[in-house]
């Protein structure tokens, strides 16, 4: 048996690794000689278990330093691959970063994410560990404890294909929770704002019992528009009209929380919003004009595409038949001369095939005996 704070000597009998002494007491560290059969082995101050380095004082400083050096080496490799003349494109660089750097930061982040922030800081970018699910939960519990006298409400919006729904969940009084299905085609942003509106409507009924309220939402864009008072959005104006009707002694705070990090109130509210997607009844609220923009753009593009498909004889149609796809831009960023050459090769405008247009005799074009194109040559 070991008492709390007493040093423990750990050794791996299979790999014959040197033992390490681990203690929670930072003032007292015991490093006795460790006897292994007939030989004496010196106790080390750190050990690596499953890729995570543990110091004898249960400090993770050495592991953070090791992780920084490992990630910086991978970043140096990315700097070489990202050469401005012959380097890889952004999509490839992003995949390499996620594979070589972010995967290392994510591994073990639940353990070393509890280290001091001063230990995680360092020179250069990408040196801080990626926030883990446990880190988000600890931050949420810290905020929840700080505003423990506030009445909490969780809001969310959900979308599945064309179905859209919003919900407001009251953990202390689940029977007050509200959910509604919006008209098909509405955006998730509108659903998030509708969830906040449901919360404010129900909060108004509780102002006689409570004075301080906090609304938790996982939509950062919605909270940012509320903070910046973006009154161009109709739903934002509607929320401010609801807030103005509250008594002056009522205080409402808005807090952003990440989605799907196992926060109990947020998960229950997410289930409530998804269940509302399958309701037969829908809200009578009209769709905001900004939610119709994607449908309008899709319709305009379809009309444009049909008109372009009718131009099958146009040589440019063979180069770019689908207007929704971007042309290959390999030559861009390498200088105007190379971009011009790539563009002319793509459309077939070269001296070999179009030089007759520049040869004028007696104000007449001299046409070749048989016109040919680059596609015919290749």
> In this predicted model, what pLDDT tens digit does every residue of 25-40 receive, in sequence order?
555 555 555 454 545 5
What is the mean pLDDT, run by run of 10 residues, along the chain of 378 residues? 43 52 54 51 62 65 78 85 73 85 78 60 44 74 88 92 91 90 90 93 90 92 90 89 91 89 81 89 83 88 89 77 66 62 76 68 53 58
104 three-class SS: helix
d(CA 179, CA 166) in angstroms, rounded, equals 6
Same domain assignment for residues 47 and 158: no
Same domain, 143 and 274: yes
Q: Is 145 inside a domain boundary?
A: yes
Tell me, yes or no, whether 283 and 310 share the same domain: no
Cα 112 from chain centroid (whole Å): 21
Q: Do 165 and 27 share a domain, yes or no?
A: no
Within-domain flag for 95: no
- The domain total for the chain is 4
Q: Any idea what the CATH number is for the domain that residue 248 is in?
A: 3.30.420.10
What is the residue range of 310's domain? Answer: 288-325
pTM for this model (two decimals):
0.54
In this structure, are 215 and 296 located in the same domain? no
Q: By C-alpha distance, which of 179, 183, 180 is closest to 162?
A: 183
Residues 52 and 162 in one domain: no
pLDDT at 244 (0 to 100): 92
State how far the Cα of 269 lies from the Cα of 272, in Å rounded to an integer.
5
Query: What secondary structure does DSSP assign to 241-280, as a single string?
Result: HHHHTS-TT-EEEEEE--SSS--HHHHHHHHHHHHHTT-S
User: Do 170 and 253 lie in a common domain?
Assistant: yes
Judge if 308 and 181 occupy the same domain.
no
Same domain (yes/no): 201, 246: yes
Clarify whether residues 179 and 214 are in a common domain.
yes
Per-residue pLDDT at 110: 64
- Residue 65 in any domain: the answer is no
Residue 19 covered by a domain: yes
Same domain, 301 and 317: yes
337 shares a domain with 279: no
């Amino acid at each position: 048996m070991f008492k709390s704070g007493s040093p423990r000597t750990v050794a791996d009998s299979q790999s014959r690794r040197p033992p390490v002494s681990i203690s929670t007491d930072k003032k007292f560290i015991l490093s006795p000689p460790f006897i292994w059969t007939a030989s004496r082995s010196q106790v080390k101050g750190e050990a690596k278990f499953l890729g995570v380095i543990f110091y004898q004082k249960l400090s993770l400083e050495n592991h953070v330093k090791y992780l920084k050096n490992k990630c910086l080496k991978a970043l140096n490799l990315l700097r070489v691959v990202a050469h401005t003349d012959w380097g890889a494109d952004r999509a490839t660089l992003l995949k390499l970063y996620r594979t070589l750097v972010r995967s290392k930061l994510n591994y073990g982040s639940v353990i070393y994410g509890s280290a001091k922030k001063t230990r995680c800081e360092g020179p250069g970018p990408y040196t801080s560990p990626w926030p883990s699910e446990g880190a988000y939960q600890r931050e949420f519990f810290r905020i929840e404890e700080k505003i423990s006298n506030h009445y909490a409400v969780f809001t969310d919006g959900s979308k599945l294909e064309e179905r859209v729904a919003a919900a407001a969940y009251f953990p202390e009084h689940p029977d007050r929770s509200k959910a509604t299905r919006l008209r098909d085609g509405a955006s998730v942003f509108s659903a998030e704002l509708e969830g906040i509106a449901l919360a404010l409507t129900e909060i108004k009924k509780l102002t006689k019992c409570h004075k301080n309220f906090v609304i938790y939402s996982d939509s950062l864009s919605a909270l940012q528009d509320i903070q910046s008072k973006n009154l161009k959005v109709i739903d934002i104006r509607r929320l401010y009209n609801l807030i103005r009707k509250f008594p002056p002694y009522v205080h409402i705070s808005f807090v952003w929380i990440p989605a799907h990090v196992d926060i109990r109130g947020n998960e229950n509210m997410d289930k409530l919003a998804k269940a509302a997607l399958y309701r037969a009844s829908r809200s009578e609220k009209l769709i905001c004009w900004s939610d119709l923009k994607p449908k309008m753009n899709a319709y305009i593009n379809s009309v444009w595409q049909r008109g372009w498909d009718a131009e099958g004889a146009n040589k440019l149609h063979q180069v770019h038949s689908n207007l929704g796809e971007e042309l290959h831009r390999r030559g861009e960023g390498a200088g105007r001369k190379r971009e011009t050459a790539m563009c002319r090769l793509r459309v077939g405008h070269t001296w070999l095939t179009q030089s007759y247009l520049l040869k004028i005799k007696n104000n007449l074009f001299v046409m070749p005996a048989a016109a040919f194109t680059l596609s015919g040559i290749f």
